[in-house]
Amino acid sequence: MHRYFHIALFLSLCFSTLVSGQTQKQEQEVTRILFVFDGSQSMYARWQSGTKIDIAQRLMNQMLDSLQSLQSESFQLALRVYGHQKPVPPQDCNDTRLEVPFKYNNFASIKRVLRGLSPKGTTPIARSLLRSASDFPPCDNCRNIIILITDGVEACDEDPCAASLALQKKGIILKPFVIGIGLDKEFKQTFDCVGNYYDAADEETFKNVLGVVISQALDNTSAQINLLDQYDLPSETDVAITFYDEVSGQIKKQLVHTLNFKGNPDTIHLDPLVRYKMVVHSIPEQTEEHINIAPGKHNQIGLKMPRGGLELKVTSRSSGDLKCIVREHNSKAILHVQDFNTTQRYITGYYDLELLTLPRYVMPNQKIEAGKTTTIAIPPPGKVNFSSSAPGYGSILVENGNTMEWVTDLDENTARQSLNLQPGNYKVVFRSKSSRKSEYSVTRTFTISSGSTTIVKLN
């Protein structure tokens, strides 16, 4: 077997499996790979069995042949070259050009440009990265990847790291791949901040690295999300999850967590080139940051979030749309507003409840336990009907020990109104609009019982 033939075989085996899996998706994502290729004068240097440019051209052609044999529309390629148009000296830091734009099945065009390269110029890496932002046409369902192939470091006093990070933060590209051809090891740290760096110290390594990088660029790796209960078992499920690109802040994936028919977390596909922040939209929300996905493996993402239920009950047709404000214990922020006669799951802990009844009741420090349901049941309200000869101003007060506390105001625009009140002892203080003296105020005492109706006349 020819010593270089196995790169084609390797790529064909990896990608045929990948592409067949992608075609099962409802909406096929397109991976766009921009090769940023070094055409500077140093590429004429001797390296192993020939010059660097000859070896790079040959192995790139083999890789392109392997990709072409897949006949897939799941990816597009493009080629930008720098340092190939103008010789040095003098140095021209604008010597970078998109030679082959993105298109399906443009392998022949890329090979033709590579074959005709005559390295002669400088190494404007940062400027080439920044210019590549316009190489990617607008696309709603594309992964944009740069593979930088270079045998030198930045020569134009610019910052490739800043250029790469700017493109990532804007969401234009994912973290680039950098393949260093015969670079000194001391330069590795220079490229670590640019992207995923691969050191091709010799011809054989370059051949293998090229295959690995292309495989990762086209791969969406499998993962499962383990939402752990109080026993550290992945039993929590049926909750919405959002994955963010931690660098750009863009939403990369949203789903509702599922357990499969075996009771195991369902398999999802995540891009191994993205570092994620995962937000589980539980109550309260749970966040896991700095998630790195290992390519070519089944990844497991674990997050401990035991939950319990809160059931709010009231047995009355007249309870209407009764609600409860839920806050974390000793927090002023509203966490949730839950309807009565519903059950909602919360992360285990202590919560303060404010029942929006009349009068309102605050129930602090209520415990939600994992795997259990806490039930809060209130008695059905009673009804009070107020009537007067004319509209007026008034307030309802409830007895609380030796004091009276405000409950609600009467509607000043009507002479008759009805309210649902919780059982208890009340007073209403009222003055007709036509009465101009405080002495004409009237006070009525009344009692509310569950399910009963009380009539209060204010004249």
Give residue-wise pLDDT tens across range 10-26: 444 444 444 444 434 44
What are the pLDDT digits (tens) for 139-195?
A: 988 999 999 999 989 999 999 999 999 999 999 999 999 999 988 777 778 898 999
Closest CA to 324 of 392, 288, 377: 377
Closest CA to 144 of 128, 126, 161, 132: 132
pLDDT of residue 18: 43
| Alpha helices (runs of H) in 322-393, residue ranges in sequence order | none
Closest CA to 334 of 312, 358, 353, 320: 353
- Over residues 220-240, the mean pLDDT reads 95
Q: Which of 61-75, 275-289, 367-381, 404-418 has the lowest mean pLDDT?
A: 61-75
Closest CA to 238 of 220, 255, 256, 252: 256
Q: What is the pTM of this model?
A: 0.83
- Over residues 217-233, the mean pLDDT reads 92
Q: Is 211 exposed, middle or buried (0-12, 13-18, 19+ CB in 10 A)?
A: buried
Q: Which residue has the higher pLDDT, 250 or 3?
A: 250
Percent of the chain at pLDDT above 70?
93
pLDDT of residue 23: 39
